[in-house]
Amino acid sequence: MDVASPAQVATTPAPPARTRPLLRWSVHAGWVLLLALATELRVGRFGFHPSDQGFILAQAWRVLHGEVPHADIISARPLGSAVLHVADYALPMPLFFGSSFLAMVEIIVATIAFAALVTRRRVLDWGPGMTAIVAAASLINLNAFPLMAWHTIDGIALTACGAWALDAGLGSGRALARRGGLALLGSAVFVKQSFVLAAVIGLVWLLLHPATRAGTRRALRLVLDLLALGAPGLAYVAWVSLGGGFTEMVEQVTGGVPAYGERLLGLWLDDPEALTRAPGRELGFFAAIAVVLLAVRLPGDRLGAAGRVASWVLVLAGAAAVVRTVVDGRFTGATRWADVLWWILAVSVPVNAAVRRKVPWPGLLVLATGFMISLSWGNDTPTLLTGTLALTALLLLGELVPARPRRWVTATAGLTAVAVCGGVVVARHDQAAYLDVGHDRLTEDLGAVTPAMAGIRTNPSTFTFVRQIRDCLDRFPAPRTAILPDSPFAYPAFGLRNPFPLEWPLPLEIVGDAPERMLATADRLNREGGYLVLFQTDSYRMLATGGPVPESIPAGTPVFDYLGLEKAIQARLTGRTVTCGSFVGEYVP
């Protein structure tokens, strides 16, 4: 008996789902801007100190007016950050508020870039959980650091975004993304020489990638790629050389006190007992967990359900160690929590590589970036990368378990992390803003002194100090004005032209022939006239504690200086000695 076959029904493929990439990009851009703005409104604008919170902006102000790095501006670092932050002056916001907002945007975007590299997932494919976790990591990256234009933030952002673009370009074959990423990595070197490793990583990444050795016209493509990597450096050196500053550039960028990252690398050598106290003890706990996890995961799935359960338990225990490190660190550099997180990640990378039998190159990039950050005089620890260090360690651990958590679990964890991290960041800054007092004592808005600082809140002593500068400028107008030694903010804030080649003559910033050039400038001012040079008589530490600022002082009040340079300049100037508030000055109208 014949059996009838069912009729064949023609089917048409379902139309592809509309992903709406423009909408998704808009959503991601929106949360980045909203988080940056909320952080600036609640945290960044509270607390101000006249020293480093205007340092980069002052250098950018000089570049904006045509001055040439190293020839006209003495700097122990290349002045790539000064070039980048010329853009701050174009923002439709008060200068200092907008600059802080832009710094938070940089932190968030760098966190996104590192997370996209580590997960190998497009940002457009992130769900709310992953997005929230990255947002929380960006807040941890900020921790207790002041929101301001700063070369380390620029170096992190250029390294992260450059590697992100390079990876995307190599994977997709898009030359624009590849060469754009190489150009960003090359630019990182010129915001701070400690980021030279970023360019080296980009070069090695390019040369070893299979895409570089595939296709036709490989030699020409490689030459163009190398030109993209070197273009920022060639442009910078050409600019400085044409301005007559090549020799000075070499002397200045090689003449500073070197930094080797010894504090980070020798975490347990300085104080071995620190590894028995929080947060250092979490490193030993994490390392022990990693060893056991390695033993459980190396056999693969041969241990069956018991192995899977054990893997999850160990991964959760490792995650708890990471979280505990952040909690015990209290966002305070003295606890060495950033160093501990760096070493936790250093343990995670080989464990991940051994189990998955593949080197997690993005994890190594994050480690390298942490080391580059630690090559610093004032903050020789990867504090500005703590959220990314913690997140990368967690992501590398998560890759070792056989199944992923459900989306609602990730979303709940992410939203909880954002709320907790946001609350802790706010509480930490409220307790004591950077070089300023607690939130309840930040009662004065500097916008009352100058529109460039509208919205920035500080204590009454710092407010008085800034107001006195404005009063001095009104009483003693001059075409060239300098405030020495700790007030670089004043030049962009009041639109002043500094005749000296240094904004902030800290001892470590005195490189090359800086003393001779500073004194030669004083001689030139005596010859040409038309200047006001104000000298501070109070230590900047006094302003940080809200100490008293006198409204008037005798002309013979000793000025505050570091190495005697300010006193030598004061002695050399032949103008009329004037007093104004807490300042002593030399004035020639």
The pLDDT of residue 51? 87
CB proximity list for 54: less than 8 A, separation 6 or greater: 96, 487, 488, 489, 490, 491, 492, 493
pLDDT tens figures, 403-444: 777 788 888 989 999 999 999 999 999 998 899 999 999 999
Task: Choose among 88, 97, 94, 92: nearest CA to 40.
Answer: 97
The pLDDT of residue 481? 97
The pLDDT of residue 19? 55
The whole-number average pLDDT for the span 288-295 is 94
Contact 549, 464 (CB under 8 A): yes
| Residue 6 pLDDT level (bands cut at 50, 70, 90) | very low
Q: Say whether pLDDT at 301 is over 80.
A: no
- Compute the distance between CA of residue 57 and CA of residue 53 in angstroms, rounded to an integer: 8
Contact 68, 236 (CB under 8 A): no
The whole-number average pLDDT for the span 574-585 is 96
Question: HSE-up of 568 (CA within 13 Å, CB side)?
Answer: 13
- Compute the distance between CA of residue 115 and CA of residue 124 in angstroms, rounded to an integer: 13
CB proximity list for 579: less than 8 A, separation 6 or greater: 552, 553, 554, 555, 557, 585
Among the residue ranges 3-7, 84-88, 353-357, 538-542, the one predicted with the least confidence is 3-7
The pLDDT of residue 5? 37
The pLDDT of residue 268? 79
Contact 576, 532 (CB under 8 A): no
| Six token digits for residue 211 | 């895409």
pLDDT tens figures, 119-148: 999 999 999 999 999 999 999 999 999 999
Q: Which of 167-181, 262-276, 290-304 has the highest mean pLDDT?
A: 167-181
pLDDT tens figures, 368-379: 999 999 999 988
| Residue 290 pLDDT level (bands cut at 50, 70, 90) | very high
- Compute the distance between CA of residue 397 and CA of residue 399 in angstroms, rounded to an integer: 5
- Compute the distance between CA of residue 144 and CA of residue 103 in angstroms, rounded to an integer: 14
Helices (H) and strands (E) in the chain, counts: 23, 6
pTM of the model: 0.94
The pLDDT of residue 17? 45
| Residue 63 pLDDT level (bands cut at 50, 70, 90) | very high
| Residue 23 pLDDT level (bands cut at 50, 70, 90) | confident
pLDDT tens figures, 492-544: 999 999 999 999 999 999 999 999 999 999 999 999 999 999 999 988 788 98
pLDDT tens figures, 346-364: 999 999 999 999 999 999 9
